[in-house]
Amino acid sequence: MVNTLKSLSKQIGALFLDAKSTQTTRPIYAVKGGKTGLQSLEERHQTWLKAQDFKTKRGNWALLPGEDGLDGVVFSMEDDDKDDEDTKDSNANALPAPLQLGSLPLRIPPGDYHYDWTPDSPDLAALAWALGSYEFKHYKSKGEKDKKSEKGGKNAKRLRLPEGASRDDVVALASSVWLARDLINTPANDMGPAELSRAVKNVAKYFEADCAITTGDALIEANFPLVHAVGRASTRAPSLIDLTWGKPKAPKITLVGKGICFDSGGLNIKPAGGMALMKKDMSGAATALALASMIMSAKLPVRLRLIIPAAENAISGSAYRPGDVLTSRAGTTVAIGNTDAEGRLVLADGLALADEDKPDYLFSFASLTGAARIALGASLPPVFSTDDALARALIDTGREVDDPVWQMPFWQPYDTLIDGRIADISNTAADALGGAITAALFLKRFVKSAKRYTHFDIYGWVSRAQAAKPIGGEPQCARAVFEYLQREFGRS
């Protein structure tokens, strides 16, 4: 059901008209907030918008009628009478989703009515158009797409590529995000460890990367005991996916993503409401794969490694139990306080493998704790890092590309809360408070040699539609990290 990067690139490329195209387009006017927000528009447009009681609130948009039908679209880049930095964070991504608009192709005209139009904005605006165009229709009986629109018919919803925007860069970024969204949105009956492995192999083939997959009982022989323990109760065998790309002597960037394809909670079973969205428990893996795709598309001069422990946390007679003591790849013994804290177990083996390579940057991505959502909500993932300067830089790049993160600490005084009584460590803390921090500290126990370790506790889902972010799966943090790495390493 999941599209390949090649097919996604074709779909996304069809969303744009070349700058030299002679096809008729209508303008998208971007206006700022406050009383003067609409004064840059023609008087007839101002009159129409006032009659519609249009408010200059970020994300608001309206169609502008003309003599021959649609005269254009106006959208607000910020709220009324607000002029603070937080309001401006996602201005460049505030384009209205094309699926909500009329069918005539549109353009972003240059001019003074564009507020805060920075050199990077053409790419971000085009990317926002592409991200806002995403739909997950694979299970609709009438078909996945409007074929006439997909093939670029005269009424296709398209945007003339803004001057200065790179089609290749925009399509590459959008394809990576769309791929991750497809993976997260796919129901668990069609997205188990084998299907996730296949998706990674397809990406590896696309970029001519190497990909090794260890499955089932072979995980025990290869010393991934925690991955095996978590996944052994399922009829679908767990796997450890290991992709490598780039020159061996280049700076080492390693990504580890939690690939729990469905989480029942195990013997500590979740209630029905807690299980409803558990197809997204592999969003960390999808995010790491999206980031890997971005890095390879940009040909960054790095040695990339992607590690995904993939499993289904199911219930059967072979399920691991509360009270069990398991030995990790690193040799650390883990007492199981709760089988529903399985994500940190599979990540422990993945991080131990990654750490053996002594990477320059080690990033982990996981929908790990509800405590992170209580602390910061669903759309602001916490970032934990052993390098404060790196964390601050990620906050800055996240703001700039509308992929926000916020720093939380590896608070060392809490580390004793995960000490085990009869084992080296427990997968649950002695205190329920500070759960996102103690989970991050658990992971950090398995990182000894990496120069910098950074962990993201993502939600991986959009519950309320936002500009460029439709309801459904979302690879949070991937674009923020990519922007940082692109600035750090540039292109080869």
Residues catalogued as catalytic: 270, 344
Backbone angles phi, psi at 74, to 5 degrees: -120, 140
b/e string for 219-238 if b means 16 or more Cβ within 10 A? Answer: beebbbbbbbbbbbbbebbb
C-alpha 227: how far from chain center? 23
Residue with tokens 């074709």: 10
Question: What would the DSSP string read from start to end of 405-467?
Answer: -EE----GGGGGGGB-SSSSEESS-SSSTTHHHHHHHHHHTT-SS-S-EEEEE---EESS-BT
User: What strands, in cross-sheet order, belong to the sheet with 159-160?
Assistant: 16-17, 159-160, 106-107, 26-31, 69-76, 61-66
Residue 219 identity (one-letter amino acid): L
Report the relative pairing of strands 453-457 and 69-76 from DSSP bridges. Answer: unpaired
Which positions ≥6 away from 109 have C-beta within 8 Å?
Answer: 27, 28, 29
The continuous run of DSSP H or E covering 160 comes out as strand 159-160
Inter-helix orientation angle 283-297/193-206, to 10°: 10
CB atoms within 10 A of CB 299: 13
> Measured at the alpha carbon of residue 360, what is the angle toward residues 326 and 166, in degrees to the nearest 5?
115
Q: In 312-345, which positions are buried (b, 16+ CB within 10 angstroms) versus exposed (e)?
A: bbbeeeebbeeeeebebbbebebbbbebbbbbbb
What are the E-state strand segments in 67-125?
A: 69-76, 106-107
User: How far is Cα 484 from Cα 476, in angstroms, rounded to an integer?
Assistant: 14
CB atoms within 10 A of CB 44: 12
What letter would DSSP give residue 492? -
| Angle value at C-alpha 298, between 156 and 388, nearest 5 degrees | 115
Burial class (CB in 10 A: 0-12, 13-18, 19+), 82: middle
87 to each of 39, 91, 92, 126, 264, how far by Cα in Å?
Answer: 20, 8, 11, 20, 39
